């Protein structure tokens, strides 16, 4: 294929604005997939059932489409992208593989946070951006309002904004024609030293590690030896080809093409996303797009039954084959037994992985409350139990965020930001839409900030954020104890100003869920040796005098004293049953 007739593009938008549905229509219209096949599985590129249920794309699936326009044959390489903030790194690496992007905006919702974040990055790296309003067939579509928002936010003139319905196919033919007309053909040369960008890698049980790459220069063919720029490791190429959307093998991949490379590597972390593939013999330079992925949220995972530990271990490492962002470290809990400390990009990333373990692998999992990374006296700490209150300097991650909301909800949102130790930096008005720029500790976002934001804005507000810095802060470790036994999995790091309220809330939530025992149970929150909040769960009352119809007072007193001593002994040696529901209550508190 003539390099001038290749178009590499992606679709960028906020969550649930119709990216995957548009991908389906493109596959159908170009004849890549039969209409019947798409009817049987909507959102064809979303290979995961769970991603379809959550309405987001998680794993990227590049696909080659052949299309003829005005007697010319073209290759259209589409890479679908996720729209949730947890997966923004996947969007960024996709953009580097493209020359153009379709900016998709929902006709019923307008411009939202992730739309702007992705647009800014696409613009920064020089992509040709084609704006399109989707869902124009819906009765609730407000096309004029959304056109005004796109103009005010991005500067696109009204006559350059396409109107489509990905669901019905309305306007999609015209969109394809605009992609061919406006998106530039790839640069580079087939004769130059090899350079290929890795934008994804997956584990295939039949093929091993499969690398998805975009050729920026040169070519790669079966039998070649290639070198990874990040660590100079050399591997053998077993197969190359492209997705259509199933595996199509070819003799070689050449400059400008997008395809897969199968090598002899066994570990997915060896194929680093953003890394550059070079020729074994040297020549060519790194593209400089590799950024090591770092987890932001950490959870301890335990099997509900200790006998399922090996099954959980197998399930986690199997999922890691497809998820280079996931980190896994074995750990031992005095209460739950053996488990794993796992790092994730965000809470949604964690939620999806846990769902996959339970549904796909059949292992029931218990997750301790999430935590984040702190810098304590210059060292990284990701587990609250490892933070000592005597440490001289503790730094927490601070995010820079943007919230897009209708003007009506500004007051409530500003109040939420300030309640969460945040600071609003700037407010910008775009017609009826408003952008609020703010900073906030990451700790105050990871639990339920997104849910609260959606609640107070009736679902209209959206937000995006990135870690800006680690800042010194007055933080304390709060320990929770049940009958004087500290539960390390329930230790939290809390700002000094929030310790009292937080402690009372957690202790109350736990006390309501822990069942009554035959002895009194105390639940406490403490900082060091100082008790901050405490609740008592009274014992079952057993009437030891029930069978006595008479008798003197001395005998009754002896029975009551014996019961008192027995309860005291039971309280000392008896283990309190802390059910799973109690830990879930802590997350909701």
The CATH homologous superfamily for domain 195-279 is Translation factors (2.40.30.10)
Whether the CB-CB separation of 493 and 475 falls below 8 Å is answered with: yes
Comparison of pLDDT for 153 and 283, the residue scoring more = 153
- Quote the pLDDT of residue 569: 38
Comparison of pLDDT for 202 and 439, the residue scoring more = 439
At 310-358, the pLDDT tens digits run 999 988 988 887 677 788 999 998 778 899 999 988 777 888 888 889 8
The Cα diameter of the chain in Å comes to 111
Q: Cβ–Cβ contacts within 10 Å for residue 374, how many? A: 24
Among 89-103, 465-479, 537-551, top mean pLDDT goes to 465-479
Q: Is 61 helix (H, G, I), strand (E, B) or coil?
A: coil
At 237-289, the pLDDT tens digits run 999 999 988 899 999 999 999 999 999 888 777 888 788 999 987 778 888 86
The sign of the CA dihedral 23, 28, 29, 30 is positive
pLDDT at 40 over 60: no
Average pLDDT over residues 203-226: 90
| Tokens of residue 63, six digits | 């696909």
At 60-89, the pLDDT tens digits run 568 999 999 999 999 999 986 665 555 566
Q: Cβ–Cβ contacts within 10 Å for residue 134, how many? A: 32
At 155-168, the pLDDT tens digits run 999 999 999 999 99
Average pLDDT over residues 447-463: 84
Give the percent of the chain with pLDDT over 90: 45
Average pLDDT over residues 560-582: 55
Distances (CA, A) of 5 to 2, 182, 213, 244: 6, 12, 19, 18
CATH of domain 297-370: 3.30.70.870
pLDDT at 55 over 60: no
Shared fold status for 3-182 and 394-472 = no
- Quote the pLDDT of residue 548: 60
pLDDT at 567 over 50: no
pLDDT at 53 over 70: no
pLDDT at 113 over 80: no
Residue carrying structure tokens 């796909």: 360
Residue 425: φ, ψ to 5°: -100, -35
Residue 142: φ, ψ to 5°: -120, 80
| Tokens of residue 514, six digits | 């822990």
Calculate the average pLDDT of the chain.
84
pTM higher than 0.85: no
Among 69-83, 130-144, 308-322, 524-538, top mean pLDDT goes to 130-144
Q: Cβ–Cβ contacts within 10 Å for residue 142, how many? A: 16
Find the range with the poorest average confidence among 12-16, 442-446, 490-494: 12-16
pLDDT at 2 over 70: yes
Among 53-57, 81-85, 512-516, top mean pLDDT goes to 512-516
Task: Please state the domain extents for the chain.
Answer: 3-182, 195-279, 297-370, 394-472, 480-588
- Quote the pLDDT of residue 255: 95
Q: Cβ–Cβ contacts within 10 Å for residue 222, how many? A: 17
**Distance of alpha carbon 10 from alpha carbon 478, whole angstroms:** 46
- Quote the pLDDT of residue 249: 95
- Quote the pLDDT of residue 419: 93
Average pLDDT over residues 456-485: 88
Average pLDDT over residues 11-28: 86
The CATH homologous superfamily for domain 480-588 is Elongation factor 4, C-terminal domain (3.30.70.2570)
Distances (CA, A) of 239 to 45, 191, 261, 264: 22, 21, 6, 10
- Quote the pLDDT of residue 572: 35
Half-sphere exposure of 41 (CA within 13 A, CB side): 12
- Quote the pLDDT of residue 399: 93
- DSSP label at residue 371: B
Reported CATH class of domain 3-182: alpha beta
pLDDT at 461 over 60: yes
Find the range with the poorest average confidence among 199-208, 239-248, 480-489: 199-208
Whether the CB-CB separation of 424 and 436 falls below 8 Å is answered with: yes
- DSSP label at residue 288: S
Q: Is 376 helix (H, G, I), strand (E, B) or coil?
A: strand
- Quote the pLDDT of residue 570: 37
* CATH architecture assignment, domain 394-472: 2-Layer Sandwich (3.30)
pLDDT at 427 over 60: yes
Give the 3-state secondary structure of 111-125. Answer: CCHHHHHHHHHHHHC
Q: At what angle do helices 172-182 and 19-29 cross, to 10 degrees?
A: 90
pLDDT at 573 over 90: no
Give the 3-state secondary structure of 465-504. Answer: EEEEEEEECCEEEEEEEECCEECHHHCEEEEHHHHHHHHH
- Quote the pLDDT of residue 124: 84
Comparison of pLDDT for 447 and 206, the residue scoring more = 206
């Amino acid at each position: 294929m003539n390099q001038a007739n290749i178009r590499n593009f992606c679709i960028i938008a906020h969550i649930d604005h119709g990216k995957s549905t548009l991908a389906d229509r493109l596959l159908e219209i170009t004849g890549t997939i039969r209409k019947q096949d798409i009817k049987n599985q909507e959102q064809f590129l979303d290979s995961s059932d769970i991603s379809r249920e959550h309405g987001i794309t998680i794993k990227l699936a590049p696909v080659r489409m052949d299309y003829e326009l005005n007697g010319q044959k073209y290759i259209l390489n589409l890479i679908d992208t996720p729209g949730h903030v947890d997966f923004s790194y996947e969007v960024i690496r996709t953009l580097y593989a493209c020359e153009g992007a379709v900016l998709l905006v929902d006709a019923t919702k307008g411009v939202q946070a992730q739309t702007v974040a992705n647009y800014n990055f696409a613009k920064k790296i020089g992509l040709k951006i084609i704006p399109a309003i989707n869902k124009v067939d819906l009765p609730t579509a407000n096309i004029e309002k959304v056109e005004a928002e796109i103009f005010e936010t991005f500067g696109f003139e009204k006559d350059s904004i396409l109107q489509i319905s990905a669901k019905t196919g309305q306007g999609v033919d015209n969109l394809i024609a605009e992609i061919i007309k406006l998106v530039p053909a790839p640069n580079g040369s087939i004769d130059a030293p090899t350079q290929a960008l890795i934008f994804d890698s997956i584990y295939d049980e039949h093929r091993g590690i499969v690398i998805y790459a975009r050729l920026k220069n040169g070519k790669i063919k079966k039998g070649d030896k290639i070198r990874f720029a990040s660590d100079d490791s050399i591997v053998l190429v077993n197969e190359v080809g492209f997705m259509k959307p199933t595996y199509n093998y070819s003799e070689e991949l050449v400059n400008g093409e997008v395809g897969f490379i199968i090598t002899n590597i066994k570990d997915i972390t060896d194929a680093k996303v953003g890394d550059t593939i070079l020729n074994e013999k040297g020549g060519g330079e790194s593209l400089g797009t590799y950024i090591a992925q770092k987890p932001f949220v950490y959870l301890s995972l335990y099997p509900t039954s200790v006998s399922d530990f090996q099954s959980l271990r197998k399930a986690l490492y199997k999922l890691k084959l497809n998820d280079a962002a996931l980190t896994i470290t074995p750990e031992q809990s005095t209460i739950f037994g053996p488990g794993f400390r796992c790092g994730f990009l965000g809470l949604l990333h964690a939620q999806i992985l846990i769902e996959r373990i339970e549904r796909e692998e059949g292992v029931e999992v218990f997750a301790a409350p999430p935590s984040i990374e702190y810098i304590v006296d210059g060292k990284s700490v990701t587990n609250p139990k490892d933070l000592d209150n005597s440490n001289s300097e503790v730094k927490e991650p601070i995010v820079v965020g943007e919230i897009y909301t209708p003007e009506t909800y500004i007051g409530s949102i500003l109040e939420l930001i300030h309640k969460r130790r945040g600071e609003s930096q700037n407010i910008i008005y775009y017609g009826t839409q408003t952008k609020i720029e703010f900073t906030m500790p990451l700790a105050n976002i990871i639990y339920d900030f997104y849910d609260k934001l959606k609640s107070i804005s009736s679902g209209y507000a959206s937000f995006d954020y990135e870690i800006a810095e680690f800042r010194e802060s007055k933080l304390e470790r709060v320990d929770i104890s049940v009958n004087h036994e500290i539960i390390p999995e329930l230790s939290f790091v809390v700002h000094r100003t929030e310790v009292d309220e937080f402690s009372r809330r957690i202790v109350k939530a736990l006390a309501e869920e822990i069942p009554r025992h035959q002895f009194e149970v105390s639940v406490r929150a403490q900082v060091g040796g100082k008790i901050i909040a405490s609740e008592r769960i009274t014992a079952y009352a057993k009437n030891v005098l029930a069978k006595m119809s008479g008798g003197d007072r001395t005998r009754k007193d002896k029975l009551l004293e014996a019961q008192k001593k027995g309860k005291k002994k039971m309280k000392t040696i008896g283990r309190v049953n802390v059910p799973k529901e109690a830990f879930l209550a802590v997350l909701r508190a």
